[in-house]
Structure 1
């Protein structure tokens, strides 16, 4: 995919950025990505592989050597990417100054906070599985970086939302349950009860609602809203396929359920790639 009109050499072999499934073919496209995705600028992108690609595919030996030196010196992110911008005069001095301010503000955040911001960014760009991976990394850092219950709860909640978008309702339910333990807000409770219901367990939903004192009227209204949403989803091809997969789960056929769910998610992913070109 080409973002802007390229004035320099385009490579035959692209530089693949896994986080958002993008192929980069030119220095212009690389600069565009660096400028617009500051929350994803880490060692998964700024590494030796990028330098080798610049050298071998674009013939930019001097730029590649300079960026490699900066990486070896463990220079700041802004320092590492500045030579790329300068190479094609991508930004004016003032534009780069403002960009550096934004980047430095992000870099000054605690590591665990930067991970959550990265996960939220991926979620916003519909990269749900990658977002889940980042959220899990974020939670694994809790012991090293001290955070409050509100922060932890928000990570669990957002991870639950990512799982829900992937139609993995059991995982979503567990995440929302943990979020409820930390946050105990009405919106999180609604997310949890919705996930329980969408996972096909109305009895459990009633039991959980009773534990926290949800009124019958409120519970009935929530169920109605869920049913209206689910009915519209079931009428689609994907919805009908998912309903069939759930039958394996209800019948206790764990192996068949997991195999069909993996195939289903793979098909959804392939469809996304076909539709976007990524």
Structure 2
């Protein structure tokens, strides 16, 4: 999960698996940490009976499970559900919980396509390429939102191309990068499209006289990271 989490509550031998990422959680602190840092992956469906049973039976957090059940049954908003779990762990102080609530409020005010892209980007960052791919495709199937501008859709096409490239589907990746160029004439995307086209006909060997940094695969990965970093600034 990237950082050490000190568990003050019970740590269970039976993991709770987060289906969106395949991540196994073993304590309330780990659950809170996941929610705090991956809020874009969470929706109302996350707080289901499976989670409640795990909290109740494995961690002994019966009161928290009851609050979640009550909140979902009454149609409680997502922010309250998240804050109730994150706050129960004592990992975060009141200021951090307030900031989390404000972040969720900001996400809630976004256009639907923007929220979907944030979710897709989180999935891509977590290495869940196929799930990210479906989210990007979902955005592209929706009616184009003129409020978002051409750069938004250029980024969606680019990131969909990244998903295909990571799965070695270079022809599809090239097509996506070319679509991205129609929206955003970016030199780095053009390079990615050219590299994907080269890789369509078989990757160059990763050993021999060519330096590793000159290999098409490594260049494509490097440009992918640079492009997506710039897009988030």
Is this a same-fold pair by TM over 0.5? yes
Work out the CA distance in 2 between the residues paired with 1:87 and 1:56.
Answer: 17
Contact in 2 for aligned 1:3/1:32 (Cα 8 Å): no
Work out the CA distance in 2 between the residues paired with 1:144 and 1:228.
Answer: 38
4+ runs deviating over 6 angstroms? 224-227
Larger Rg: 1
1:143 aligns with 2:129: no
Question: How many residue pairs were aligned?
Answer: 210
Match of 1:32 in 2: 33
Is the alpha carbon distance of 1:225 and 1:117 closer, same or farther for their aligned partners in structure 2, counting shifts above 3 Å?
farther
Deviations 1:46-81 (A, max 9, x none): 333212221222222221111112122332222012
TM-score by length of 2: 0.78
Contact in 1 for aligned 2:87/2:97 (Cα 8 Å): no
How large is the RMSD of aligned CA atoms in angstroms?
A: 2.9
Q: How does 1:153-172 map to 2 (within 5 A)?
A: 153-172=154-173
Shift of 1:31: 0.9
Deviations 1:171-200 (A, max 9, x none): 211211222233333333322222112111
Contact in 2 for aligned 1:3/1:29 (Cα 8 Å): no
Work out the CA distance in 1 between the residues paired with 2:173 and 2:55.
Answer: 41
| 3-state SS, counterpart of residue 75 of structure 1 | coil
Q: What residue ranges of structure 1 are gaps of 5+ in the alignment?
A: 202-223, 234-278
1:115 aligns with 2:119: no
TM-score by length of 1: 0.66
Work out the CA distance in 1 between the residues paired with 2:143 and 2:26.
Answer: 40
Contact in 2 for aligned 1:111/1:145 (Cα 8 Å): no
